[in-house]
Structure 1
Amino acid sequence: MFRKNFETGKERDAQLCVYVEGRRVIDLWGSAEGDETYNGDSLQCVFSSSKAITAMAIASIADQGLINYSNTVASYFPEFSENAKGDVKVEDLLRHESGLANIHTAINPKDLHPQELEKGTVAKIIAKDYQVFPKNTVREYHNLTGGWIMNEIFRRVTPDKITIGSWLRREYHEGHGIDVHMGLTESELARTRPLEAIPTPHAMLHSLIPNAFGAQVEHNIFVFSKILSSFKRRFTETEKRGFAAMFEGVDPGLDPGVLIPEFMNSPDWRLGESPHGNVHASARALAMLAGAMANGGQVEGKQIISPTAWILLHNNPIVREDAYMNGCRTEFTQGGVNMFKDYHDDKFGERVLKSGRHGFTGWMGFGGSIIQWHTELKLGFGYACTFMTWWDMANIKARKLQKEVVVCTKRINEEKIDEKIDENNNVK
């Protein structure tokens, strides 16, 4: 299945890694162009898969008593209380319920570089912003804003006043050899693969081509047209509600197939810290972290997070409709990870989002990446890629692989049980 994605034009460079019961059992990578410099350790931006990694870091300092999810953001970041935001709790932010999904003043990407964060420019913009809630629900997925706010809290409460990016480098990369980075160094820039995307007209053309003939788009023209309309409506509604673009000099209405290579491959994006959007990692790193979460925080003899931090991360999930996701329900915990469960009344969009993911926890990233774990099967799944299928909000390429991994794992578990039972149904 993994190889077929390359053969049919749906993938360029990609990695798949899976842990089961704390052991790495799948470790694949490939390049459609036969690029031998691309390997299992190559880095790529994993977009919102960053949220799950950031959530682990936050759970770790919560375990140390440095923050409490039920406390207000303003109790750690007093200026944040401006414009009637004083009641927003940390858990509201991590559940995407703060009313701050968007922003009214664009951020200069350079102000997100680690050495610039100390100057407080981003903190001032965040402090002066004000809440806008969608109709009918308090939940509206926070693409990047929540990560910027959490980084400011993190920087203020940690004893050495470090950012989340610095913490990840110290605790995960240097401490455990896990290849996750936010705020890349020059050597890491050299290991990072450029992201690729196709513009809308090219994607439209591919939606007319049958999958068997190498279509790069999973959907037919009718479904793809609906997806494009949803994209356009989302940006139009954002403008109507008075929000600014996320970044200075970046047009949010620009064709995603043009915007992704132009901005996301730039040093400004790669060198900065957007904890909910620009972690750069390999699938090996994603799967190792997911494998740890599937085993109570431990993998390969390494305690990635403590048992208490693990509980804090997973506690108090709440199911709500998400305005950003066209009313689909998500089930985010206080720690900021989503629990994927099939409900008896799932509507079509929810089935697309969750098919094959029942029992998983974690999240995924724009264009294709995934970091999710299944505690019952003790399975950690990581996927990373360079070809951004920007129209696919359910990450279908990886979802199909994820679904098959579950089938394989269950089959192996059944075989193990069969081996222990004799013909009289007695345990051997």
Structure 2
Amino acid sequence: MINGTTAAGFEPVQQLFEKQMHSLAEENAQLCIYHCGQKVVDLWYSKADGSIFKPDSLVNVFSSGKSLEAIAIASLVGKGLLSYETRVEDVWPEYRGGGKENTRVADVMRHEAGLANFDTAIDVDDLLPENIKANRLGIVIEKQKQHFRSPEIGRREYHAMTRGWIVNEVFRRVDPAGRTIGEYLAEEISGPLNADVMVGLNAEQLQRVSKITPLSIGRHILASLRPKVLGRRVLHSFLQLMVRLLKILLAVRKGSSKRTPPVREMRGISFFNDNRMRRGETPSANTHASARGLARIAAMMAAGGHLDSVNCLSTPAWQELHKDPMPATMGGLLPTRFTQGGVDQFLPCTDASSQFTKALNEGREGFYGWMGLGGSIFQWHPDAELGFAFVPTSLHLLDFFNERGKLFQEIALECAKRQGTR
């Protein structure tokens, strides 16, 4: 059930893909990689016989979409319509209040806006583009008070869904056409690049979606008890998982962040399979894409903002997006280096680096971008001219750093270095 093509020199990636798909708990997955503007890996897998899962099937990639909203804001910066130093209230006067007055665009992009959670749940219909433009979501954000965890934790706290909502409000107020991020993406990125990447789906696109299937915490832990040599279906052993879970629970206890469900109707991850949710715009957690589509956009980013004859970002916009990566531990736990444009920079580790730093960075040194809950990865490597996308439908929720996909990045980077750049 593995299909696709691999260019000469990248055969080790396909070999690893075949091994992982047959050994780990996977249902469907796509892997696509560009090198020097050319597609060198295009693979997809389905566990089921006669599956309708295709290379252009659309899958929710969750937080991988955060890099798309970063590209949208960068486009405004490149046109001189916005600066990362701009205070949000300067383009959105109603945003002021509740301690939010001095929040810069860069603070929002670095997850330092103090709005990781809202004090009220959003109605799913408020996320439809027409209702976003009617300010139904904006008025909720305007009423929020800035809230940080303890000083020990710091200002950087993961705005898992809220960053995209805030950024969308900023974007539509600054964009001369008043578009949402989903509309901008379709008109200026996905459309020109012929890339299947969408924020907010229409009726035709809904027919192409493959649902996501979370691997339950219990099943994941149970699977981790089996030794790797006996066919363990998850990446990490029971001991590795328990050590990580303990550290995460300790970090959560130190904080005091509010915990209101983000969407009123949501009763778990599976709600993202509801078509009402799929139609709405939550750029930070509800982007639907194929690996082929994401990899084309990643190839464009790896090349400095253009691919083939399509120019998506000016050189100044691209440079500003990647500028000033600031190290900070997110939520007292995750070591990150978010640029002012809102993408993470992955760097080499040292022997003294923490376990989490190594888990996040080793194997993806030199990449920029981010990743999504349970497995998806959307990143680019400018020096090696690599555009990378991994899109699974099985969500391994305890694979906190998307390491099963990171293995493909590591091998692809080695192959690219042997091939050289242009």
TM-score w.r.t. the length of structure 1 is 0.90
Distance 1:230 1:267, change over 3 A: farther
CA contact (8 A) 2:369 2:380 kept: yes
Task: Tell me how far 1:229 sits from its aligned partner.
Answer: 4.6
Unaligned runs of 5+ in 1: 252-258, 417-428
Deviations along 1:368-410, whole A, 9 cap, x unmatched?
1111111111111111110001111111111001101111111
Q: Which residue of 1 aligns with 2:399?
A: 392
Give the alignment partner of residue 244 of structure 1, picking from 233, 241, 260.
260
Report the equivalent of 1:116. Answer: 131
Change in Cα spacing, 1:241 to 1:50, as seen in structure 2 (3 Å) is: closer
| Corresponding residue SS for 1:269 | helix
Check conservation: 2:165, 2:283, Cα contact below 8 A: yes
Question: Quick one: which of 211, 222, 225 aligns to 2:239?
Answer: 222
Amino acid at match of 1:392: D
Aligned counterpart in structure 2 of residue 5 of structure 1, from 7, 13, 20: 20
Counterpart code for 1:298: H
Contact 2:58 2:288 in 1 (8 A): yes
| 1:260 equivalent in alignment to 2:269 | yes
Q: Which amino acid aligns with 2:71?
A: M
Aligned to 1:403: 410
Superposition map of 1:200-211 within 5 A = 200-211=217-228
Structure 1 residues 242 and 179: CA distance shift in structure 2, 3 A: closer
- Residues 78 and 317 in structure 2, CA contact (< 8 A), matched pair in contact too: yes
The residue that corresponds to 2:11 in the other structure is none
Counterparts of 1:1-400 in structure 2, within 5 Å, are 1-134=16-149, 135-136=151-152, 137-229=154-246, 241-251=257-267, 259-261=268-270, 263-323=271-331, 326=333, 328-344=334-350, 345-400=352-407
Q: Is there any run of 5+ residues in structure 2 with no aligned partner, and where?
A: 1-15
> For residues 291 and 411 of structure 1, do their structure 2 counterparts lie closer, same or farther at Cα, with a shift above 3 Å needed?
same
Q: Distance in 2 between matches of 1:235 and 1:271?
A: 32
Q: Give how far 1:47 is off.
A: 0.6
Residues 1:271 and 1:14: Cα distance change in structure 2 (over 3 Å): same
Q: CA deviation at 1:222?
A: 2.2
CA distance in 2, matches of 1:101, 1:362: 20
Contact 2:217/2:398, CA 8 A, preserved across alignment: no
Aligned position for 1:423:
none
Deviation digits for residues 208-238 of structure 1 (CA, Å, limit 9, x no counterpart) = 1223443332222222234445566677777
Query: CA deviation digits over 1:288-343, x for unaligned, max 9?
Result: 1111111111222322222121112111211112225x1x3211111111110124
Q: Is the 8 A contact 2:376 2:391 kept in 1?
A: yes
Segment of structure 1 superposing worse, 197-206 or 55-64: 197-206
Whether the aligned pair in 2 keeps the contact of 1:338 and 1:361 (CA below 8 Å) is yes
Letter of the aligned partner of 2:340 in structure 1? Q
Which digits, 9 at most, give the CA deviation of each residue in 1:93-118, with x for residues without a partner?
Answer: 00111111222111112211112112
CA distance in structure 2 between the aligned counterparts of 1:232 and 1:108, rounded to whole angstroms: 30
CA distance in 1, matches of 2:202, 2:221: 37
- TM norm structure 2: 0.91
**Separation in 2 of the partners of 1:269 and 1:230?**
32
Contact preservation (8 Å) 2:28, 2:392: yes
1:362 aligned counterpart, secondary structure? strand
After superposition, the Cα gap between the structure-2 partners of 1:407 and 1:241, relative to the gap in structure 1 and judged at 3 Å, is: closer
Q: More displaced, 142-151 or 335-344?
A: 335-344
Cα deviations across residues 132-181 of structure 1 (Å, max 9, x unaligned)? 22233221121111110110111111122110001111112333311110
| Offset of residue 260 of structure 1 | 2.4
Is the Cα–Cα contact under 8 Å of residues 8 and 211 in structure 1 kept in the other structure? no
Q: Tell me the number of residue pairs that the alignment of Structure 1 and Structure 2 aligns.
A: 404
Structure 1 equivalent of residue 13 of structure 2: none
Query: CA offset at residue 348 of structure 1?
Result: 0.8
Identity %: 36
Contact 2:197–2:290 (CA<8 Å) still a contact in 1?
A: yes
SS of 1:371 mapped into structure 2: strand
In angstroms, what is the RMSD of aligned CA positions? 1.9
Name the CA shift for 1:321/1:235 in 2 (closer, same or farther; >3 Å). Answer: closer
